[in-house]
């Protein structure tokens, strides 16, 4: 993305009984639009995109509480987030939670070519 930020969750999953989340943070004074694309895992059934666009509020955080709203079908894919905002102002996190046991796993989204 020209003059923007690209973040990736190399392997996002939606296993049974777990919730997968995406958290996007914008520390700039302007709201920033984002779009999400999906990359299929080799030799697996294609994922079906859901809601793929939105806005991260100025000096705020956007939480996509359940990635089932982003894709269906295959329960794993690579998530690519493009944000129309400066790299220094945009951060991202992928989180997977088991609400029954309380287990949580957090992973910072990577910046392709720099991590």
- pLDDT in 10s for each residue of the chain, 115 residues: 456 899 999 988 888 888 999 999 999 999 999 999 888 887 776 677 776 899 999 999 999 988 877 777 767 888 999 999 999 999 999 999 999 999 999 999 999 877 5
Is position 113 within any domain? no
CATH of the domain at 53: 2.60.290.11
Task: Tell me whether residue 37 is in a domain.
Answer: yes
**Beta carbons within 10 angstroms of residue 24's beta carbon:** 26
93 contacts: CB under 8 Å, gap ≥ 6: 21, 22, 23, 25, 106, 107, 108, 109
- Can you give the residue range of the structural domain that contains 20? 5-108
Number of domains making up the chain: 1
Kindly report the number of other CB atoms within 10 A of residue 12's CB atom: 23
Any domain includes 114: no
Q: What is the C-alpha separation between 113 and 2, in angstroms, rounded?
A: 15
- Reported as half-sphere exposure (CB side, CA atoms, 13 A), residue 10 has a value of 7
């Amino acid at each position: 993305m020209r003059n923007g930020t690209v973040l990736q969750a190399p392997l996002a999953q939606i296993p049974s009984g777990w919730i997968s989340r995406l958290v996007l943070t914008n520390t700039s004074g302007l709201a920033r639009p984002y779009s999400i694309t999906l990359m299929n895992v080799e030799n697996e059934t294609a994922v079906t995109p859901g809601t793929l666009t939105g806005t991260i509020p100025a000096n705020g955080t956007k939480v996509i509480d359940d990635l089932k709203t982003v894709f269906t079908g295959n329960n794993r894919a690579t998530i690519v987030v493009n944000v129309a905002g400066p790299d220094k102002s945009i951060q991202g996190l992928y989180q997977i939670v088991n609400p029954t046991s309380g287990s949580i796993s957090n992973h910072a989204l990577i910046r392709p070519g720099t991590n």
